[in-house]
Amino acid sequence: MARSPLQLPAWLHWLDTCSSTNTWAIAHLASLQHGDVVFTPQQTAGRGQRGRWHSPEGVLTASFVLEQVPVAQLPIVSLGAGLAVIYAVEDLLPLQGVLRLKWANDVLLKGRKLAGILCEASANGSMGRVVVGIGLNRCVDFEQAGLDDNAIGQAISLHQVSQVVPDTLLLLERLRHYLLQTAGLLQSKSPDPLVSPGLKSLLPALRSRDALLGQPICVEVGNERVAGEAAGISDRGHLLLQLPNGVVRSFVSGHILWQHRE
């Protein structure tokens, strides 16, 4: 869908094609401002948390620039971005109550991956600029794209659950709106460096949307694989895992192996 520059808001940088919107945004950070959005309908070499992000036609691929975000809170930005995706989609489609957050980087619809998030920071000191990359399956024909379930990670597209799919520009505007709100929350000061007032305000929503809670999962961290039952999200935004012996471990990062069940 081509658009004239006259039709675009000042905050939107629309690229006909690029390798990765995150890569482009990071390379051009000096000329980008808080709230700027980089979008392309044709991303040729997208990046995800564990390598390549498949970007066939119909995936909304965009990167959002946020300024003055505490670098130490980058994992929390990712959680907040997941909520932003959920809120944006719920604003535009009657999908209330079915969207979930899979800690820490995926948004699920009916247990299948609707969106992925990749946050990257550029900083000199404690505060920095964060680029939030979002890949959202808006209107993707996975079969036509030649992607099987292993390649797409049990993905789902909005057009599979709704006859009307929101316009790209409208989705970008809603995503930007909620991400700016998230950035504002995270900029709040706290006397305790280990406690984020922004995260504290996000926790009720994060916990109510937790797709993993009570599920048997494995967490991969480096060469270690730990199995147990997901026990929620901690006050610091960490994943809690209850081991078979009853001990609860906390994870700042890790890859989740999980078979969704209702």
Residue 115 domain boundaries: 5-208
**Do both 36 and 123 map to the same domain?**
yes
Q: How many domains, the chain?
A: 2
**Do both 100 and 170 map to the same domain?**
yes
**What's residue 142's pLDDT?**
75
Report phi then psi at 116, rounded to 5.
-125, 155
- Tell me how far apart the alpha carbons of residues 105 and 145 are, in angstroms, rounded to a whole number: 24
**Do both 167 and 40 map to the same domain?**
yes
pTM assigned to the model? 0.90
What DSSP element (H or E) covers 152? helix 149-152
**What's residue 5's pLDDT?**
53
Q: Last residue of some domain: 208, 225, 245?
A: 208
**What's residue 187's pLDDT?**
79
**What's residue 71's pLDDT?**
78
Cis peptide before 104 (omega within 30 of 0): yes
DSSP label at residue 166: -
Given a cut of 70, the residues of the chain with pLDDT beneath it are 1-6, 46-55, 143-153, 189-196, 260-262
**What's residue 2's pLDDT?**
47
Helix (H, G, I), strand (E, B) or coil at 131: strand
**What's residue 83's pLDDT?**
97
User: Tokens 């009657």 sit at which residue?
Assistant: 94
Phi-psi region of 212 (alpha: psi -120 to 50; beta: other; left: phi over 0): alpha
